[in-house]
Structures are given as structure tokens and as C-alpha cells.
């Protein structure tokens, strides 16, 4: 099975889905969502696989959507006066559907997070069943400041109302240890122990029969489905398109195109740096 944005590795009844754009910090491009869905389907179809692990190559788990690609696409569409909110909603819903293949995977998925896990990268992690992160990882949704809304909308389900609002009303990132304390992730470990920790958990889960794994995952996930997760995600996906076309969102995109992504990110995130990028 050929992929352009990821690779697969199987060992000890565990399928590793490795995001493989390390030069771009594994940023999400046009191909990645559908390739993730295909990889998850392959893992579910393989009777020798009981657990899936999602991780990133290089220095990061996933730095969100590839902004150089995304800003150019939005600019070209708007230059043609071609923004259709419903078409935008349908397109982003398709990406969300691919991300949610991790959630709907019959077999459990562990997200192994190191380095940056921000923006759309958090959608990938939060759609997984369990998140194990390096203590010094950075997890957050800075597009909440301008140009985005989390389409998976899983923040409140993971951490509750107070912490979800605290994170999304500032766009602040937290380190792995703080994420564990908030309940955003299962466990944070020293970076040098991350591989071992994830392997130990995956191998322990793989001791269960596949049918038991499927039933236990479905039982827990159905609780959140009954709480209205799909309705919340529809709103988050609709807001994502709106956020990219507010006056502030358009101005930020044009700044990125004219002066580069780094300059635009400095404009967006600079005022927050005095408080500190990682909340203790």
C-alpha cells in the first residue's frame, strides 16, 4: 500500500502509523487525511493486528495543517470570489471524517506525542483512544486566536468545560505534564522513555482478544456519541470555515502570504509570549 505522507510498520501485533513529513513537522497536507483513513482500515482488516499506534517522524508529532499550502489555497479561492460556506463545510467535514477513522477504528489507537502537537495535529491525537506524550511536548490549539476552530470538537469531552474554555479562549499550549494533570492525555513521561511506555501499553492491550478490545472501545465511545458529539463537531467544522473568512482571518492570511508564515505567526502569538507558551 503506497503512501506519500506516512508509512506503516507492524511488529508484535501492533501497527504503527507514522506521519512521515518530518521536514514540515508532519503538517497535514491534502493527502494525509485520506491516507490516515486508509492506514486505519488496513490495520482493522489485518487479523494479526490488535492495536494501532499513531506517531510522527522527526522532531514533532504534527504541527497542524500545512499553512503554506492552506493559505495559498484560501487566497486563490477568494481571489475568484469563490468561497462557498457550504462547500467549505463539506470539504472540512471530509477531513474530519478521515480523522474520525481513528475514533471509529474497531481496534484501539494510541497517539504517541512528542514535540509539537498543535492545531489540526490535536484533532489527530484527540480522535485517538489514548494519548501518551513526552513531558516536554507542546499541545494546544493556537488557531483559536485567529483562523481556525477545532473540527473534532473533543476538548470539552476530554477536559471538561472550565479547562476547555481556558485553552480555547487563549490558544495557549500546555506541556505534557500539564496535559496529564488536566486529563487531556493519559500519561506524560520523560522523552527518552516515550517509545518504551507506548510499546508496553500497546503490548499489554494486545494481550486481550480482538473481540474484547472492540467491545470495550465501543462501549466507552458510545457514551460520547450519546452526549451529542456529532452535533458539536458539525458546529466546530462550520465555525472553522467562518474563522478563516472573518476580517481578522483574511488579514492574517494575507500577512502570511505577503511576509511569510513566520511573520504571521509572530503577529498572532507574540502578544501571548509574556505569559508563557506553556502554562504551569
C-alpha dist (Å) from residue 114 to 159, 242, 273: 20, 30, 21
More confident residue, 83 or 197: 197
Pairing of strands 138-140, 174-175: antiparallel
Does some domain include residue 178? Answer: yes
- Give the whole-angstrom CA distance, residue 280 versus residue 272: 15
What average pLDDT does range 158-171 have in this prediction? 98
Radius of gyration of the chain measured on its C-alpha atoms: 18
What pLDDT, on a 0 to 100 scale, did the predictor assign at position 276?
52
Confidence band (pLDDT; 50, 70, 90) for 88? very high
Positions of E strands within 13-63: 14-19, 51-56
Does some domain include residue 277? Answer: no
What average pLDDT does range 155-181 have in this prediction? 98
- Lowest-pLDDT choice from 43-57, 104-118, 226-240, 266-280: 266-280
What average pLDDT does range 47-75 have in this prediction? 95
The model's pLDDT over 41-55, given as tens digits with 9 standing for 90+, comes to 999 999 999 999 999
The model's pLDDT over 254-279, given as tens digits with 9 standing for 90+, comes to 999 999 999 999 999 999 987 654 44
The model's pLDDT over 1-36, given as tens digits with 9 standing for 90+, comes to 799 999 999 999 999 999 999 999 999 999 999 999
137: helix, coil or strand? coil
Q: Which residues of 24-42 are buried (b: 16+ CB within 10 A; e: fewer)?
A: bbbbbbeebbbbbbbbbeb
**Structure pTM?**
0.95
* Torsion of the alpha carbons at 148, 151, 157 and 160, rounded to the nearest 10: 10
Query: Across the chain, what does the average pLDDT equal?
Result: 95
Does some domain include residue 279? Answer: no
Residue 96, domain CATH: 3.90.226.10
Q: How many domains does the chain have?
A: 1
Does some domain include residue 20? Answer: yes
Residues in a beta bridge with 53: 16, 110
Which of left, alpha, beta for 114 (phi over 0: left; psi -120 to 50: alpha)? Answer: beta
C-alpha 104: how far from chain center = 15
Whether the pLDDT of residue 89 is over 70: the answer is yes
What pLDDT, on a 0 to 100 scale, did the predictor assign at position 275?
64
* Torsion of the alpha carbons at 247, 166, 232 and 118, rounded to the nearest 10: 70
Does some domain include residue 265? Answer: yes
Domain residues for the domain of 59 are: 6-272
The residue among 168, 165, 59, 163 whose CA lies nearest residue 119 is 168
- Give the whole-angstrom CA distance, residue 62 versus residue 93: 20
Does some domain include residue 150? Answer: yes
Does some domain include residue 280? Answer: no
Amino acid at each position: 500500500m503506497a503512501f506519500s505522507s506516512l508509512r506503516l510498520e507492524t511488529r508484535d501485533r501492533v501497527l504503527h502509523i507514522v506521519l512521515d513529513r518530518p521536514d514540515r513537522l508532519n503538517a497535514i497536507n491534502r493527502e494525509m487525511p485520506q491516507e490516515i483513513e486508509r492506514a486505519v482500515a488496513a490495520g482493522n482488516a489485518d487479523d494479526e493486528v490488535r492495536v494501532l499506534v499513531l506517531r510522527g517522524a522527526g522532531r514533532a508529532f504534527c504541527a497542524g495543517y500545512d499553512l503554506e499550502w492552506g493559505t495559498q489555497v484560501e487566497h486563490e479561492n477568494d481571489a475568484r470570489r469563490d468561497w462557498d460556506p457550504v462547500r467549505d463545510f463539506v470539504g472540512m467535514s471530509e477531513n474530519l471524517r478521515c480523522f474520525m477513522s481513528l475514533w471509529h477504528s474497531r481496534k484501539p489507537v494510541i497517539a504517541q506525542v512528542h514535540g509539537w502537537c498543535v492545531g489540526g495535529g490535536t484533532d489527530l491525537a484527540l480522535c485517538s483512544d489514548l494519548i501518551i506524550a513526552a513531558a516536554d511536548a507542546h499541545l494546544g490549539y493556537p488557531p483559536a486566536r485567529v483562523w481556525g476552530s477545532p473540527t473534532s470538537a473533543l476538548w470539552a469531552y476530554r477536559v471538561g468545560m472550565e479547562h476547555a474554555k481556558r485553552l480555547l479562549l487563549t490558544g495557549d499550549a500546555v506541556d505534557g505534564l500539564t496535559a496529564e494533570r488536566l486529563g487531556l492525555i493519559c500519561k506524560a513521561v520523560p522523552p527518552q522513555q516515550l517509545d518504551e511506555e507506548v510499546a508496553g501499553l500497546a503490548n499489554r492491550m494486545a494481550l486481550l482478544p480482538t473481540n474484547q478490545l472492540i467491545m470495550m472501545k465501543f462501549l466507552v465511545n458510545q457514551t460520547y456519541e450519546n452526549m451529542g458529539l456529532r452535533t458539536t463537531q458539525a458546529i466546530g467544522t462550520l465555525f472553522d470555515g467562518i474563522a478563516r473568512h472573518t476580517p481578522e482571518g483574511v488579514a492574517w492570511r494575507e500577512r502570511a502570504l505577503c511576509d511569510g508564515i513566520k511573520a504571521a505567526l509572530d503577529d498572532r502569538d507574540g502578544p501571548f509570549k509574556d505569559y508563557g507558551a506553556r502554562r504551569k
